[in-house]
Structure 1
């Protein structure tokens, strides 16, 4: 009993993946809005609503709020994909690569369903560079967070078993 008071139970690894995805989606979505507001990119995070929402409300404050919720949900899914596929791989470069893969997925594969995103070759250089950097930083955040927790859990399990 005293042991539990001194060392409270940690959250499960899957719950940590959920929170990492949620925070990553909200934080990096907000950074995306700032980049759009400062004209570093011509792609607004509101673009996630365009295929599903009708009306001009999606370009106002309510659209920004709901698109942040959508980004958080998509980010949670992306975090679980990283967890399932890449959690055992050490190093920062796997997260960077994950971000680049997400960029390619959005700007090449999913581009036709997002009318707010022009084809990649028609985008301004600032937009391409900013978007790649944001996706790489997002991937690094997700990847490094999940890999760090995975390695920490391995060490703690090893210590607990001895």
Structure 2
């Protein structure tokens, strides 16, 4: 038996790839923030349920019950993976919280102005209650900051580790 096999506790797991981290961040972010948005609906802070995402594509009353809510939240998590991948491709190199805030606002505008006709459960913007607008903007901003800061932080950490390795390699070569 080799020393490597004997000291299994000294072996390190391979770190998660950056793209896997982005996918998991998107999935978790979508599930977490849409779950919180559901509680905001329950407490009458918004008139929009997460189940509005199912309305254009499903038939039946099941979509307004608990099953529809769970399916909606998971579906929003899956769609959020795409949103996180878009952030990864376009904005990951910007380590500012303001980029995440801007991304959340852009997503809000996209959903409430561009995609609004697709979702019959979302009233036109000028007919929404003030609480719904404020709550929705806040959730989208927090979601954008969560996605943006998580991805940008990981990007800067990878750059730092690479720079540290290069510096260490240069020190070894210079010695």
**Which TM-score band (shorter chain)?**
over 0.9
Question: Which residue matches 2:87?
Answer: 82
1:106 aligns with 2:142: no
Which residue of structure 2 lines up, in the alignment, with residue 41 of structure 1?
46
CA deviation vs aligned residue, 1:23-69 (integer Å, no higher than 9, x gap) = 10110011000000000000111100000011111000110111012
1:58 aligned residue (50, 59, 63): 63
TM-score by length of 2: 0.89
Say yes or no: does 1:13 pair with 2:18: yes
Q: Deviations over 1:51-96 (max 9, x none)?
A: 0011111000110111012101111110000000000012100001
Q: Which runs of 5+ in 2 are unaligned?
A: 170-175
Structural RMSD (CA): 1.5
Across the two proteins, how many residue pairs are aligned to each other? 162
Larger radius of gyration: 2
Whole-angstrom CA distance in 1 between matches of 2:78 and 2:156: 25
The alpha-carbon deviation at position 6 of structure 1 amounts to 5.3
User: Distance between the aligned counterparts of 2:84 and 2:139, measured in 1?
Assistant: 16
- Distance of 1:93 and 1:109 partners within structure 2: 23
- For residues 123 and 141 of structure 1, the distance between their equivalents in structure 2, rounded to whole angstroms, comes to 26
CA distance in 2 between counterparts of 1:95 and 1:24 reads 13
Q: Aligned partners of 1:7 and 1:93: how far apart in 2?
A: 36
Residue 78 (structure 2) pairs with residue 73 (structure 1): yes
Q: Which residue of 2 aligns with 1:131?
A: 136
